[in-house]
Amino acid sequence: MNKLFPSTLQLRFIYWAIWIILTIVQIFLFNHYLTNSNFYEPIVYNILQAGCILILWYPVKYFRNMLNLPLLLLFHILLFLTSSVIWVGVGFLISNTFLFPSSYYPEFFLTALPLRILFSLLIYAAFVLAYYLLLYRDELEIYKRDAAEKLTATSPLPTEKLTRIIVKSKSEFHCITVNQIRYIEANGDYVMIYTDTSKYLKDHPMKYWETHLPDDRFVRIHRSFIVNIEVITKIELYEKETYKVHLKNGDILKASNSGYKLLKQKMQL
């Protein structure tokens, strides 16, 4: 939020509605506790203070990351005193010159000053706290957006899994579902896809089929084989760190040690 605090119509309405309420409260307090109080005088001072509070957005914004607590407190004490001197001084000149050109006003001004300063201190603290909350809310939103963009940029997109494959047999094309595949064998830059009834030569290397076939059904058990776990009947040790995988149709595939471990995990053995 780089603009002035009431940067939208809604915020402007809320801001000035708050000041109208504060002015009414202040008029009531002054009339109740002070003699010679006037209806117009609190309005002048509150309009001036409302303008000062708006301007305070900029110093609060640019010094919000001050980490030294004593310096931060000193900063706000000086900011409060400076802004108070400005709006109280200008308010006195306007009231004494135009609204109450009489000898009694300076005395009334001094009588009302402690109550006015106490009231303004509470207002200053409330608005500065609101400014900090708005600033850090915007920073948090920016941080979340940047984190989400980085996560999107670094996280690989999920691979779309195959459900059916177009294969060619002689001069005919057939559509087979992945459930019909019993296993796939590496064949250079191609693969041989085996079903119960036939086999088909297909392009793409083994890595493609490893990532595009459904993970819950197909496992790469060897650098040369990907098998459908639904057609496995038995697994047995063949040699050291080598296994034989028996299929329902009688075929026997070789599995490496790492492929065997992955197979056990998928089959929950």
Say yes or no to pLDDT of 192 above 70.
yes
Which two tokens mark 222?
């060897």
Average pLDDT over residues 214-219: 90
CATH class, 164-267 region: mainly beta
Query: Please, what sign has the CA dihedral across residues 239, 242, 246, 251?
Result: negative
Summarised one tens digit per residue, pLDDT across range 15-30 is 889 999 999 998 888 8
Q: What letter does residue 188 receive in the DSSP assignment?
A: T
Q: Is residue 183 exposed (0-12), middle (13-18) or buried (19+ Cβ within 10 Å)?
A: buried
Average pLDDT over residues 137-166: 75
| Site of tokens 């490893």 | 210
Beta-ladder partners of 247:
232
Beta-ladder partners of 175:
166
Q: What letter does residue 159 receive in the DSSP assignment?
A: P
3-class DSSP state of 35: coil
Q: What are the residue ranges spanned by the domains of the chain?
A: 9-154, 164-267
- What is the pLDDT at residue 3? 54
- What is the pLDDT at residue 157? 62
- What is the pLDDT at residue 90? 94
Pick 269 or 174 by higher pLDDT: 174
pTM of model > 0.85: no
